[in-house]
């Protein structure tokens, strides 16, 4: 009986933690949208480097795989090609880009609860700055950046988990592995 109560409490606490982090509940596939403007983070399929905000469409350019990394962090990888969200320097207003996964500190992120409202903040482990929508703009295609944490809605995100069938995940990983072999 005591064991069942402990398990039930653990489940409630875990559910509360997920809600406190904008829908994020561990490794998996997500659509990530900004609280202020509802735009989704997306990889530009033309250059496969630029990360911008766009109106949600639900395609692979707007879906991200969060994979466990060192120090309790995560790698945030594009579902399109497996490239990882990366900061190139730890300076205000530096654009966030996607690059081949190299597991460096500039590709490691932590998902924090933003506040009691249940949204999440995406924090770089390479210096503590957060993903930010410049000036809280709703401009379609605007590049995202890192900036000092200020608690504004342009730094708060909602994670919507997307279930992915196992065969689709295997096919995607094979495609990424093939791409990596061709380009290195």
**pLDDT single digits (tens) 35-69:** 999 999 999 999 999 999 999 999 999 999 999 99
Residue 80 has pLDDT above 50, yes or no: yes
Confirm whether pTM is higher than 0.75: yes
Cα 155 to the chain's mean position, in Å?
12
Say which range, 11-25, 81-95, 101-115, 166-180, has the weakest mean pLDDT: 11-25
Note the CATH architecture for domain 2-183. Trefoil (2.80)
Q: Which of 5-9, 18-22, 55-59 is modeled with the greatest confidence? A: 55-59
**Domain residue spans of the chain:** 2-183
| Contact between residue 101 and residue 82 where contact means Cβ atoms under 8 Å apart | yes
Q: Which of 22-26, 52-56, 161-165 is modeled with the greatest confidence? A: 52-56
Residues 124, 87: Cα–Cα separation, whole Å:
8
Strand residue runs (E) in 55-165? 63-68, 74-78, 84-87, 96-99, 109-113, 120-124, 130-132, 145-147, 157-161
What is the predicted pLDDT for the residue at 163? Answer: 85
Bridge partners of residue 109, in order along the sequence: 74, 124
**pLDDT single digits (tens) 43-52:** 999 999 999 9
């Amino acid at each position: 009986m005591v064991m069942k109560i402990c398990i039930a409490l653990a489940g409630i606490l875990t559910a509360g933690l997920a809600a406190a982090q904008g829908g994020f509940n561990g490794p998996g596939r997500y659509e990530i949208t900004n609280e202020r403007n509802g735009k989704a983070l997306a990889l530009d399929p033309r250059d496969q480097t630029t990360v911008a905000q766009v109106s949600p469409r639900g395609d692979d350019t707007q879906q991200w795989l969060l994979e466990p990394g060192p120090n309790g962090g995560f790698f945030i990888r594009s579902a399109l090609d497996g490239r990882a969200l990366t900061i190139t320097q730890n300076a205000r207003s530096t654009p966030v880009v996607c690059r081949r996964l190299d597991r460096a500190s500039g590709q490691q992120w932590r998902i924090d609860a933003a506040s009691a409202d249940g949204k999440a903040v995406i924090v770089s482990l390479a210096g503590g700055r957060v993903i930010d929508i410049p000036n809280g703009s709703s401009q379609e295609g605007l590049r995202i950046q890192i900036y000092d944490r200020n608690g504004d809605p342009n730094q708060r995100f909602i994670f919507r988990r997307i279930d992915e069938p196992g065969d689709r995940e295997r096919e995607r990983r094979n495609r990424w592995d093939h791409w990596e072999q061709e380009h290195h």
